[in-house]
Amino acid sequence: MSLDNVVEDIRDEARARAEEIREQGEHRAEEIIETAETDADEPVVESLRAALRADGRDDEPVGATYGADSRHYVEAGVPTVLFGPGDIDQAHFPDETVEWAEVEVARDVIRETAARFLQSR
């Protein structure tokens, strides 16, 4: 068997597994991913919202239907928020990109959030 045949076999197997995962989709995710929620009146949430408002951005909290490691912190009693640059619809795909301007905005908002949160303590 040639190297090209081995590579093609691996690609075929990867395609088959990807299709199997796509078919299982949401059902599979519901079985393995625990949900997490942080109250909107938690200081970390209020700090982020204030920082977003100060930067002229929408500060309305929204839920999401994807898994994130934040659920482990919430489970341990640590109030947690998810915020950052980019578009979740592009995340974890080939050619995933984030505009540098979005990174700079996120940096500024996170810095302001941290300052506000630490002042609230």
Q: pTM surpassing 0.75?
A: no
For 35-67, give the DSSP string: -----TTSHHHHHHHHHHHHTT--------SS-
In CATH terms, the fold of domain 35-119 is: DNA polymerase; domain 1 (1.10.150)
Structure token digits, residue 48: 């982020």
Tens of pLDDT along the chain (121 residues) come to 787 777 788 888 888 887 777 776 655 545 566 778 899 999 999 999 999 999 999 999 988 878 788 888 998 999 999 999 998 888 888 888 999 999 999 999 999 999 999 998 8
